[in-house]
Structures are given as C-alpha cells and as structure tokens.
Amino acid sequence: MSATLKHIVFWKLKEHAEGADKASNALQLKTLLDSCAGIVPGMLRFEAAIAQPGLEATYDVVLNSEFASAAALEAYQNHPAHVAIKPFFGAVRESRQCMDYFS
C-alpha cells in the first residue's frame, strides 16, 4: 500500500480586509477553496472548514487535503483555478501555517 501525501493549511484572517469583516472573508475563502475540490487527478480528499463557535480553534479556516503523490499536490498548486484564488487569500490573511507529510 502506498502512502498518501497530506496537505494541511491553516489561515488566521485579518479583522477587516477587502471591504469585509473576518466572518465574511472566512466564508468567501471557504467558497473559493471548495471550488478547487477535484480539479486534479490524484486529489483524494479535500475539505475546507471554518472555525466554529464553542470549539477550540487558534486559526479561522483550515484546508485538510490528501493527494496520491507529490506530483498530484504540485499539479493542484499550479492549477489555474488554484493560482487564481491566491491573491484574495494573501489580501485577507494575517498568517498562514502549512504542513505536508506522507502517511
């Protein structure tokens, strides 16, 4: 059995950016991420979520994804649909954390 490549990203958002508040930008960010689900072969799992009230969270939005290979993750990273959403992410984020690993 071959290992899958996990790609997990967390974003902490600015209180206000791009003319909107954090909650609105979190929803927009999730919508943009959701639009990238399934865009490349080898994408095995792709789940975006927003921090929920009453549950512990130090970041506002998370992407939890899995890829069949490093090549599949690279294809996702360079796909035009993914590249197109990066400017919005950069504009609304305060910080970003990422971890890739095989399991």
Q: How does residue 1 score in pLDDT terms, banded at 50, 70 and 90?
A: low
Q: How does residue 18 score in pLDDT terms, banded at 50, 70 and 90?
A: very high
pLDDT tens-digit map of 34-91: 999 999 999 999 999 999 999 999 999 999 999 999 999 999 999 999 999 999 999 9
Q: How does residue 2 score in pLDDT terms, banded at 50, 70 and 90?
A: confident
C-alpha distance from residue 68 to each of 2, 9, 13, 21, 38 (Å): 8, 17, 30, 36, 12
Average pLDDT of span 21-29: 98
Cα–Cα distance for residue pair 60/62, rounded to 1 Å: 7
Specify the pTM: 0.95
